[in-house]
Chains A and B, each alone.
Chain A
Amino acid sequence: MRLDGYLDGQVKNDLDGDQPWSYLEHMSVIRLTVNGQAHALDVDPDTPLLYVLSDELALNGPKFGCGLGQCGACTVIVKGQAIRSCITPVKAVGGAAITTLEGIGTIDKPHPLQRAFIEEQAAQCGFCVNGVIMTAKAFLDKNPKASEEEIQQAMSGVLCRCFTHVRMLRAIARARAELGTAK
């Protein structure tokens, strides 16, 4: 999976050079399964996945924070792995099953992590919550018995600028306990 070279459009990609509009020929149908729903989308295959999720599929969970893979706001889960959708070209995940924040639970049936965030009132502006919950989910799915320290380590690439850190880590620990008992 390609995770570099899409620095928010700041870095010129392979369109530079003497074939300026060659990607027109690359327009092709990309098949994605998002939250269990299959989609066939006619998009430039180099489009970062985030734009496809936000603008083509109108999903509000994954968010544009930095476009550089530095903050986590755009995180989605692909093959059990938390990835940064802002720097992942959609062609890299063609055919893969993608899970977004919307896909793990609903207001009526929240995922244990989502429920824990409500229980702990673990948000301020809430913009980072997608990255926090999705990163934590991918991690806890693989490491259901992780220690607090390991959880902190796993969250070390995720930002929250309101600094709701105390509650968010408490919520993750709470969900881990619940997920642990469920299994």
Chain B
Amino acid sequence: MTRLSHAPAEGIVTAEASARLAGTSVSRRSFLIGAGAMVVLFSAKGQVGTAAAQEFEGGGGPGAPSPNQLDSWIAIGADGKVTAYTGKEEIGQGISTAQIQLVAEELCVPFSQVNLIYCDTALTPDQGITSGSQSHPTNFNHRNLALAAATARETLVELGSKRLGMPADQLMAADGVISAKGDSSKKISYGELIKGQRFEIQLDPNAKRKPASEWTVLGTEARRPDLPALVTGQFEFVHNVRLPGMVHGRVVRPPMVGATVVNVDEGSVKGMPGVVKVVVKKNFVGVVAEKPWQAIQAANRLKVTWSAGTGLPSHTDFYNYLRAEKPTRDTLLVNSKDVDEKLAQAATVLKATYYYPYQMHGSMGSSCAVADVQGDKATLYSPTQGVWPVRGSAAVLLGLKPENVHVIFRRGSGCYGLNAADTVTFDAALLSQAVGKPVRVQLTRKDEMAWGENYGFAFVMDERAGLDGDGNIVAWDHESWSAVLGNRPGYATPGNVITGSLAGFSPEPFMARSPAPEPPAYSNNSNGVPSYVAGNVGGVAKGTGAITSERALTHNIASPFFTGPLRSPARLQNTFAHECFMDEVAARVKADPVAFRLRHLKDSRVIEVLKGAAELANWEPRPSPNPPSQRTGMAAGRGVACVAYEGNNGFAAMVAEVQVDRETGKVSVKRIFFANDSGPISNPNGLRNQIEGGTLQGMSRALVEEVTWDDQKVTSVDWQSYRSLPLGFAIPEVRVKLINRPDQPATGAGETAITIVAAAIGNAIFDATGARIRQVPFTPERVKAALSQTLTRA
């Protein structure tokens, strides 16, 4: 896999980069190129540099160089080959393919000529974390990677103009060649233009992007270059990194939440074959051995005396605990200050409460990392979503200088958020530091699930709506409770994940705050604000809906478990509540759920995806539920949901058709109709793949996934106690309508689809049966309980 290789030898490396690779710092700009090259620099002075730096999600933290200190974004060699450096990595979502397309398109070179190097602190810019559906907006809009490629193309055309003696506007660029329009005999290749020379050009904020109407590479279904290696077993995941002299580590986690080390009996493994060392740092315990199997056996045999655990709140009563626990951190997202008054005046007030459990990323492969800590220097091969932040937090963990820590991204198993990638990187780093050798650590399934990842947030959500006499919503009140502990480790907080915490570092402090201050500015990053309200903060309405009386208030409490972003964090939970509640209100006023939504929306893009999904599904306007003809057997229904993801970072709507077995409570999703608008489409096939995966993963999370625990420890520790729909479940037909908007900025697409699945399925169950399930997952037991309530009411 040369194209996706991270090996510096594959690309053009500047002196600065090579100095960083060698662990030294160099300030001069010069090039390590034999035959000449053109390098686009990210200007430290230019306005775009500054503006773009602000766009970097989490980028440029303390101790890390800001993106504008990195010297190259794109380098073109005398052989015409292009090396592009990006801080947005491949975690399975296909973004590397789209980024290659972007560079090929703007530079007018074939896809196959572009070598993409991503996420290596010695080579690539700090673009923060690859997360939050931000890769597309960050690199495809008028900045960063896209702008660097456009700058290079314009410079090459200028050079060509001089060499060919023709005005630039009479020239065209294609396939790495500048030629005269209408006279293809007058031409010169990029390689010839560059040969033997060194061009150092600054990123031009005014460089013209190619309009979508001229695209030949972007917008096509370019194939993923990593697939041939993946399907033949040739691809190297982080799990396959093998360094000379590498030994194997195994961590020994506490048996109960809050248990601390009382004693470690190193003698219990003394003399076991291959054992290199027992490592203890506060409550972090691990064993290093020559071979993995030896490490496993030694870790099993190691006698560790632990204190009692600190206990856990009851799982069955957890949602009440969540609602009642103090202190809280309160935040107002919108507040028109007239909600109580409008609700008091309303003809009807409807209320409902929704519940969402802790869920796991549950990556297919348990997390793995390889660390080589030698003296005051460390090299970490990590599947982290943020090489620069982890460089900083690993430096804190190891007591090293950040500039002496080199973090190299290597692909792990698909992560969907803060799985155990960062924690296992810290595990390997601590063990390697203790033995002075390269150490590989892969977590057990149990440690991944119970002592590795930061779970997706559990939520309780209250919804209230006031209706006027005509059945229009005139006020919407949303209030939520969720629990947080830790987060991504960022540049300086290793205690935000389990290993750092066990090793004695504190997670970021819980900052209690009540009552909430008035919202300073409108942000719907959490989708706490429903799509149907105006989103008016400071006199400017930035929401997507029409309802002007609005309040969204959130409460965080301290979580008993580590938490962090899991695909569509908080957004999925909030959207589940909003979209089910909208359905409940529509049902109460006997309105068609699509038409009722349209009555309260004003944003044209949400409206269009909603209409698009309905059209695709041949939606028949009528209220829900569908009057059941019988009370037994199978019931069929359809449900709809839509979202403006994060308020403006992607627009999607879907219709789910389900069958509910009234006897068993089993829900089968038969067909999914999905409409998506994420701006200009870079790669329709890749986008479809994300939507298909997102909808099915959303089904699994809606139907079967839930973290469970007893009074001391997590009990969902494998694929029997934490369910995931396997390849063999009845897979629905997924039909996707892609709405292309070449004139709009690019938005994210990796998290949009999953955001609306639980709501659409919940609404379809209601349509089929009249039973409303307000708690995820929709297990057969829960569905049956809701069905029996419906029967009682009837």
- The interface of chain A, by Cβ under 8 A from chain B, is 8-10, 12, 15, 20-21, 24, 44, 46-48, 51, 54-55, 58-68, 70-71, 73, 100-102, 105-107, 110, 113-114, 117-118, 121, 123-130, 132-133, 152-169
Complex Cα distance, B726 from A169, in Å, reads 12
Complex Cα distance, B443 from A66, in Å, reads 9
Contacts of B445 in A (CB 8 A): 8, 65-68, 70
Complex Cα distance, B271 from A51, in Å, reads 22
Segment at the interface with A among B592-600, B717-725, B739-747, B785-793 = B717-725
B residues contacting the other copy or chain, number (CB 8 A): 74
Contacts of A101 in B (CB 8 A): 231-233
Contacts of A114 in B (CB 8 A): 228, 231-232
A11 — nearest CB in chain B belongs to which residue?
A: B300
B366 at the interface (CB under 8 A from A): yes
Which of B436-479 touch A at CB < 8 Å?
442, 444-446
What's the minimum C-beta distance from B714 to chain A, rounded to whole angstroms? 14
Determine if A102 and B233 form an interchain contact, defined as CB atoms under 8 angstroms apart. Answer: yes
B701 — nearest CB in chain A belongs to which residue?
A: A163
Complex Cα distance, B444 from A63, in Å, reads 13
Complex Cα distance, B142 from A90, in Å, reads 56
Determine if B689 and A124 form an interchain contact, defined as CB atoms under 8 angstroms apart. Answer: yes
Contacts of A10 in B (CB 8 A): 300, 444, 446
Determine if A157 and B233 form an interchain contact, defined as CB atoms under 8 angstroms apart. Answer: no
Determine if B365 and A159 form an interchain contact, defined as CB atoms under 8 angstroms apart. Answer: no
Determine if A66 and B366 form an interchain contact, defined as CB atoms under 8 angstroms apart. Answer: yes
5 nearest A-B pairs in the assembled complex, by CB-CB distance: A156-B728, A61-B233, A125-B92, A125-B414, A163-B696
Complex Cα distance, B694 from A183, in Å, reads 37
Contacts of A167 in B (CB 8 A): 689, 692
B93 at the interface (CB under 8 A from A): yes
A106 — nearest CB in chain B belongs to which residue?
A: B232
Which of B222-279 touch A at CB < 8 Å?
223-224, 226-237, 239-240, 242, 248, 250, 271-273
Query: Which of A15, A107, A161 touches B364 (beta carbons < 8 Å)?
Result: A161
Determine if B731 and A127 form an interchain contact, defined as CB atoms under 8 angstroms apart. Answer: no
Determine if A159 and B727 form an interchain contact, defined as CB atoms under 8 angstroms apart. Answer: yes
Which of B683-705 touch A at CB < 8 Å?
685-686, 689-690, 692-697, 699-700
B415 — nearest CB in chain A belongs to which residue?
A: A125
Segment at the interface with A among B291-299, B306-314, B317-325, B763-771 = B291-299
Contacts of B357 in A (CB 8 A): none
Q: List 8 A-B contacts (CB under 8 A).
A: A9-B300, A44-B293, A60-B237, A123-B224, A132-B727, A162-B364, A162-B693, A164-B689
Determine if B365 and A65 form an interchain contact, defined as CB atoms under 8 angstroms apart. Answer: yes
Determine if B724 and A126 form an interchain contact, defined as CB atoms under 8 angstroms apart. Answer: no
B125 at the interface (CB under 8 A from A): no
Determine if A73 and B364 form an interchain contact, defined as CB atoms under 8 angstroms apart. Answer: yes
B223 — nearest CB in chain A belongs to which residue?
A: A121
B15 at the interface (CB under 8 A from A): no
Contacts of B160 in A (CB 8 A): none
B94 at the interface (CB under 8 A from A): yes
Contacts of B414 in A (CB 8 A): 124-125, 127, 161-162
What's the minimum C-beta distance from A19 to chain B, rounded to whole angstroms? 13
Determine if B728 and A164 form an interchain contact, defined as CB atoms under 8 angstroms apart. Answer: no
Query: Which of A65, A67, A118, A159 touches B726 (beta carbons < 8 Å)?
Result: A159
B681 at the interface (CB under 8 A from A): no
Contacts of B242 in A (CB 8 A): 58
Contacts of A157 in B (CB 8 A): 726, 728
Complex Cα distance, B445 from A109, in Å, reads 34
B91 at the interface (CB under 8 A from A): yes
A132 — nearest CB in chain B belongs to which residue?
A: B727
Query: Which of B291, B296, B412, B726 touches A158 (beta carbons < 8 Å)?
Result: B726
What's the minimum C-beta distance from A128 to chain B, rounded to whole angstroms? 5
B531 at the interface (CB under 8 A from A): no
Complex Cα distance, B124 from A38, in Å, reads 43
Complex Cα distance, B248 from A168, in Å, reads 34
Complex Cα distance, B411 from A123, in Å, reads 14
Determine if B700 and A128 form an interchain contact, defined as CB atoms under 8 angstroms apart. Answer: no
Determine if B719 and A159 form an interchain contact, defined as CB atoms under 8 angstroms apart. Answer: yes
Contacts of B91 in A (CB 8 A): 125
What 11 additional pairs, Cβ within 8 angstroms, besides A157-B726, A164-B689?
A: A10-B446, A44-B293, A62-B233, A64-B365, A70-B718, A105-B232, A125-B92, A152-B727, A152-B730, A155-B726, A159-B727
